[in-house]
Amino acid sequence: DAGVTQSPTHLIKTRGQQVTLRCSPKSGHDTVSWYQQALGQGPQFIFQYYEEEERQRGNFPDRFSGHQFPNYSSELNVNALLLGDSALYLCASSLRVSGNQPQHFGDGTRLSIL
Amino acid sequence: QKEVEQNSGPLSVPEGAIASLNCTYSDRGSQSFFWYRQYSGKSPELIMSIYSNGDKEDGRFTAQLNKASQYVSLLIRDSQPSDSATYLCAVNPPSSNTGKLIFGQGTTLQVKP
């Protein structure tokens, strides 16, 4: 039973560039959430996708956008990268129905901005 | 006031002792609470979930929830060096019907042999 998979594992970009991160949810899960985790901090919610639509969004600028595909996989896009975007980006999947469902995290993508 | 607060630590306990990790949350209507363990450089791993007042035990782990005090804790019995990690408290706020999680900053636990 495959868990949540993310790619790439590591990524180095420069300021102003754009990046796309990818996530495949755990088998049987239909909802994907993205989180940003800065060093020494807890993860912060970016947004969540279900049925190919953004359902809820955290306090992140429009530079952060996403997409969900019919197979439930998802992409996170970040435009005009800033130094402060350097972080671990985590994808979590769950089964829609209620907020009671625990979320399971992938291994993350570590993004470094130079 | 932060929505979910944890003491960042580090919390240091000797091997075999009980480690007690605490978390408070601000939104009184929150219903779902989770503890995640995160090893350095790794992603969070779910270890406990709790939804009702009282205690919930799973092996060496016990989660405790007191909604009146807006307090949730995690006890680790017979602590092992392999338990050394950052423990993240996460809450699903009532304003969200999508499973959005609000995390504390995490408590670093060090178990010394």
Task: Reply yes or no on whether the pLDDT at A101 is more than 60.
Answer: yes
pLDDT in tens, A25-41: 999 899 999 999 999 99
The pLDDT value recorded for residue A102 is: 84
Which pair of structure tokens corresponds to residue A32? 């994907």
Are residues B97 and A99, on separate chains, in Cβ contact within 8 Å?
yes
The pLDDT value recorded for residue B31 is: 86
Among A21, A23, A45, which would you mutate to test the B interface (most chain B Cβ atoms within 10 Å of its Cβ)?
A45
The pLDDT value recorded for residue A1 is: 62
**Mean model confidence pLDDT for chain A:** 93
Residue of A56, A58, A104 with shortest CB distance to B46: A104
Give A95's contacts in chain B (Cβ within 8 Å): none
Q: How far apart are CA A59 and CA A62, in angstroms?
A: 10
For chain B, which ranges sit under pLDDT 70? 95-98
Q: Which helix (H) or strand (E) holds A47?
A: strand A44-50
Q: Which helix (H) or strand (E) holds A33?
A: strand A31-37
Are residues A43 and B51, on separate chains, in Cβ contact within 8 Å?
no
Name the DSSP letter for residue A83.
G
A94 within 8 A of A74, measured Cβ to Cβ: no
Task: Reply yes or no on whether the pLDDT at A99 is more than 60.
Answer: no
The pLDDT value recorded for residue A21 is: 98
Helix (H, G, I), strand (E, B) or coil at A85: helix
The pLDDT value recorded for residue B107 is: 97
Angle in degrees, CA B34, B36, B37, rounded to 5: 160
Nearest CA in chain A to B50: A100
Return the residue matching tokens 């992409």.
A75
